[in-house]
Structure 1
Amino acid sequence: MPPSTPDRGTDLTAPLTIAARPELTGGRRIAVLLSHGFTGSPASMRPWGEHLGALGYAVAVPLLPGHGTTWQDLNTRRWADWYAELTRVFDALRAEHDAVVVGGLSMGGALVLRLAADRPDEVAGVMVVNPAVATRRLDVKLLPVLKHLVSSFPAIAGDIKKPGVLEHGYDRTPLKAIHSLMQAWPALRADLPRITAPLVYFRSADDHVVDDATEPLVIGGVSSADVTRVALPESYHVATLDNDAPTIFAESAAFVARVTSSAQGVA
């Protein structure tokens, strides 16, 4: 049965796992790994994952370490912790499916780009929504000092245009953790040419979290011959829950079907 709409008892921040239904995907077992963003949770990816799951794709949305607890807990975690969890889930999906497509929002976008750079022969496709691998903010240069003086800044979660929608993220931004994220950016930017998988880049017209520094670096930096940009004119940063979410769902479903069409089916 397709996944149902969560009832009031569902923990929206919990990891999401949906089994493949190869009878809906031409006999092939296709998986999609989706990563939430910094200070967020699987709640921001759940509707997207459920849409793809209803089409027969296996879906995994892990809860990254330090998330779904407290921002203080997140402040004890680092990029290596988040990437290790993502690769653990990716390896599990690869072992049981014919192809795996990866996708991510914000920091999740950076994580899946890192994965695609490290595993160019294993990632079938990459989907990023407002990813972050750079910023024009000057105060970032002060983070090495500020993180020892101040534990957190105001929240970056909840940047959604659609009224009444919640991201279920933290109400503070832990500085030691976000500094770790930004420390991972230079190596990722240097390795973008190692990415050869097809890429679809979803970009909100009005994003109050991620500025315009990342897009040209990613689109111009990857070696992928198949790159598509999809504009999201009516959404803020958390576009997966915003007005343009249906566009993300439809375009990503078509993308997954296309880039996995040559995957070998289960014998």
Structure 2
Amino acid sequence: MNAIIIEDEYLAAAELERLLGEVAPSMTILTKLDSVSESVKWLRKNKADVIFMDIHLGDGQSFDIFEQVEIMVPVIFITAYDEYALKAFKYQGIDYILKPFDKEELQQALNKLESLSPVNVPFPVASLAVYQERFLVTVGTKMKSVTVGDVAYFMADGKYLVLFTRDGQNYILDQTISGIEMKLNPAQFFKINRKFIISYNSIKEMVKYSNSRIKIVLTPAPPAGIEAIVSAERIQEFKQWLNQ
């Protein structure tokens, strides 16, 4: 499988290439590109099977690349910013890895890549829309499966991720909020800030808040003292999500 790396930090690109050499020795890194303009120039004349892409580049965001050249291969985003995960999914993203990352996280992304397509066969975006339907949770010594339709929202609580159901139950998941976002249908779920991913059906009321933000009244209500506020940088996308 042939890959390219789009990353404007030399050391970060070199470290990613080194780790890929360890976890995917059969993968060939065709080139490393450090800007939107260089990436567009290369992609207009060349092809790869997968792209590893940072979001913030020296001359813009990597999303600008998609506006100038058609990309029909899977993209694994690797970035220090967690607020672009939903947008990344719209641009061929199959995984979203936050820096700093380790070999295990990279291996998980490659496992997802392998499960989506045969080796060396690029695939269109339509084949990427595979969303998680059930979540296995533990209740004491027992286990149960929660369907996605029963999920009201997910809330990050320190090092834990908590799933809240529409009937008021909550369960701890062994996942991260950024990781779970990529597995959810973006038509139904939206990440309003670093703490919450909410289901459309969990919205009881929306109230104007300070600094042009929006407060979401959720049902069931979050734990006492915790408010669900749409962050300022997510307001525009949130409004578009509500209006689709």
What is the TM-score with the length of structure 1 in the denominator? 0.34
Higher strand share: 2
